[in-house]
Amino acid sequence: MKNIHKGGFYYPNEVWFSKAYQSLTPTARELLHCFLTDLLWTGKGNKKRYTNNGDISFTESQFNGMYGTCSSTYLKARNQLIKVGFIRQVNRGGMCRGDRSTYKILVCAMLPFIQERWRNYPDKNWKHDIPRPKKQMVGVETQWKKGESGRKS
């Protein structure tokens, strides 16, 4: 695990007091901060540029190891961040070993105003962008149907 304790992130007041941020659970705020500290930048002042936004990955196992939470806690926090518009999933991941989900942070500076989804949160949400589990294809024919108990009559 990389050392994420080196840098920091400045939350502008418009983020801190936004309805999107205030609606987050404490776990979702911690996950957002973990994503933000993973950002790398070059330049100074107005020429600052984030070089890895869109390739941010803070895995479930990293988060669970750091905070002692379970998988569903991580997923609920991630889904809440997507819903309010702070992050957007770029790559789903999980196709092979080492394939991680990657995210774009939509709250950092130097983004066009239109990409900052969180500004529109109470009026609009991005629940439809939350990744859903893929359909289970194995054993579909042998699963119990509605009204069946599995006991022979």
Mean pLDDT to the nearest integer, 48-55: 78
pLDDT higher than threshold 90 for residue 10: no
Mean pLDDT to the nearest integer, 8-13: 76
Sorted by sequence, the CB contacts under 8 Å of residue 87 that are 6+ apart come out as: 32, 35, 56, 78, 81, 103, 104, 105, 106
More confident residue, 73 or 129: 73
pLDDT higher than threshold 90 for residue 26: yes
Q: Which residue has the tokens 């801190």?
A: 16
Which DSSP category does 20 fall into? H
Q: Which amino acid is at 42?
A: T
Q: Tens digits of per-residue pLDDT, 88-130?
A: 888 887 777 777 888 888 887 677 777 777 888 888 887 888 8
pLDDT higher than threshold 80 for residue 32: yes
User: Residue ranges per domain, the chain?
Assistant: 13-129
β-pair type (41-42, 102-105): unpaired
Sorted by sequence, the CB contacts under 8 Å of residue 1 that are 6+ apart come out as: 62, 65
pLDDT higher than threshold 60 for residue 2: no
Answer yes or no: are the C-beta atoms of 18 and 118 closer than 8 Å. yes
Distance CA 86, CA 107 (A): 6
**Class of the CATH-defined domain 13-129:** mainly alpha
Burial state string for 23-42 with b = 16 or more CB within 10 A and e = fewer than 16: ebeebbbbbbebbbbbeeee
Specify the pLDDT at position 124. Answer: 84
Sorted by sequence, the CB contacts under 8 Å of residue 28 that are 6+ apart come out as: 76, 77, 78, 80, 81
Predicted TM-score of the model (pTM): 0.76
